[in-house]
């Protein structure tokens, strides 16, 4: 992890919690939380609003929009 790495908001509606983790730790954090707290069910996720914004930026960047 670098000091300028962005933090990503992680939301869990089942736990009613929100946290921020470095971008490089997102996948591991989501998997660990969902496995230990929810028997593997995908309850925790990247903030849906941020995920939508990122999807739009990627689609625009590769010429889909």
Domain extent listing, the chain: 7-61
Q: What is the pLDDT of residues 22-55, one digit of tens each?
A: 999 999 999 999 999 999 999 999 999 999 998 9
Q: What is the pLDDT of residues 2-27, one digit of tens each?
A: 578 999 999 999 999 999 999 999 99
Q: Where are the alpha helices (DSSP H) in the chain?
A: 26-38, 48-61
State pTM to two decimals. 0.78
**Structure-token match 């730790």, residue found:** 25
**What confidence score (pLDDT) does residue 59 get?**
93
Q: Does residue 1 surpass a pLDDT of 70?
A: no
**What confidence score (pLDDT) does residue 45 get?**
97
């Amino acid at each position: 992890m670098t000091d300028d790495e962005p933090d990503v908001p992680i939301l869990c509606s089942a736990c009613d919690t929100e946290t921020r983790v470095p971008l490089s730790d997102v996948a591991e954090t989501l998997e660990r939380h969902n496995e230990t707290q929810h028997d593997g069910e995908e309850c925790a996720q990247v903030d849906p609003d941020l995920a939508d914004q990122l999807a739009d930026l990627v689609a625009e960047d590769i010429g889909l929009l």
